[in-house]
Homo-oligomer: A and B are copies of this chain.
Amino acid sequence: MNLLLLQPEDFREDGTVHLTGRRAAHAREVLRAQEGSSLRVGRRDGQVGRATVLANDVDGLHLDICLESPPPPRAGVTLILAIPRPKALKKVLPAVASLGVDRVFLVNAARVEKSYFDSHVLRPESVETLFGLGLEQARDTVAPELHLRPRFRPFVEDELPGRLDGVPLRLLPHPTAEQPLQALPQRPWGPAALAIGPEGGWVPFEVDLLSRQGFLPVSLGPRILRVEVAVPLLLGQLELLRCG
């Protein structure tokens, strides 16, 4: 935890915060907070700054808050992800939050199990916890938007065009694509979209539908990667592609 993430309801009327539970324990035990200590904090969806410990008693930590800087810039990335199994989702959600991904669409695909949409990992309180871990890690306060889309075709055909209005760079990593991602020319920074298939890959019908929406199939080479490895790798490459 590199930042204590404060929720709007943590703030009292006088602007101070009374911290209890997991965050207070972390501040005391790991950050060794005591009266007078200064801690890095951020307000969910707001600014980041410092907290000064006014009092440290059995009830928790009483903090004076000074928020002064914007959170780190967004990645400028829309991620369309064939819904991973719950165990992988638990790793991917904190990762995409820490990487500053703007929006995540978890979509159905021929080679995923539709039951994944019913996973308890996707309950709102679980998502907030997993995103929170990523935000605290990366010193950010803004989580990705998360959208579940159990119907692939209507999502791609009807919703995606509007969602990706003004997003020129759209990549579709695919094992049988001819063009390696490395061969793409660098370009000036701009918003981008990435459609990452399930482990078995998108089926031809899905590739076709995404291609019609301007997604360019690119090859990542012969290695098949776990989704929690492929996502940061591709986001890193996307960042480098957009610095021409």
A-side interface residues toward B, CB under 8 Å? 2, 72, 91, 94-95, 98-100, 137-140, 181-183, 186, 199, 221-226, 228-230, 232-237, 239-241, 243
- When chains A and B are docked, how far (Å) is the Cα of A233 from the Cα of B75? 13
Chain B nearest CB from A243 CB (Å) reads: 4
Query: What residues of B have a CB within 8 angstroms of the CB of A234 in the complex?
Result: 236
- When chains A and B are docked, how far (Å) is the Cα of A214 from the Cα of B233? 25
Q: A233: which of B72, B226, B236 is its contact (CB, 8 Å)? A: B236
A229 touches B95 (CB 8 A): yes
- When chains A and B are docked, how far (Å) is the Cα of A40 from the Cα of B164? 39
Number of copies: 2
A sample of 18 inter-chain contacts (CB < 8 A) reads A72-B221, A95-B226, A98-B226, A98-B229, A137-B224, A137-B226, A139-B223, A139-B224, A182-B239, A182-B240, A183-B243, A225-B232, A228-B228, A232-B236, A234-B236, A235-B236, A236-B240, A240-B240
A223 touches B99 (CB 8 A): yes
B72 touches A229 (CB 8 A): no
Query: What residues of B have a CB within 8 angstroms of the CB of A226 in the complex?
Result: 94-95, 98, 137
A2 touches B140 (CB 8 A): no
B140 touches A72 (CB 8 A): no
Known: A140-B223, A232-B236. 4 other contacts (CB 8 A): A2-B199, A94-B226, A98-B226, A139-B222
Q: A99: which of B95, B139, B225, B239 is its contact (CB, 8 Å)? A: B225
Find the residue from A182, A186, A232, A239 having the highest chain B CB count within 10 A. A232
Query: What residues of B have a CB within 8 angstroms of the CB of A233 in the complex?
Result: 99, 232-233, 235-236
Find the residue from A199, A239, A241 having the highest chain B CB count within 10 A. A239
B183 touches A225 (CB 8 A): no
Q: A98: which of B100, B138, B223 is its contact (CB, 8 Å)? A: B223
A138 touches B225 (CB 8 A): yes
Query: What residues of B have a CB within 8 angstroms of the CB of A232 in the complex?
Result: 225, 229-230, 232-233, 236
Chain B nearest CB from A67 CB (Å) reads: 16
- When chains A and B are docked, how far (Å) is the Cα of A186 from the Cα of B99? 23
Query: What residues of B have a CB within 8 angstroms of the CB of A223 in the complex?
Result: 72, 98-100, 138-140
- When chains A and B are docked, how far (Å) is the Cα of A230 from the Cα of B2? 15
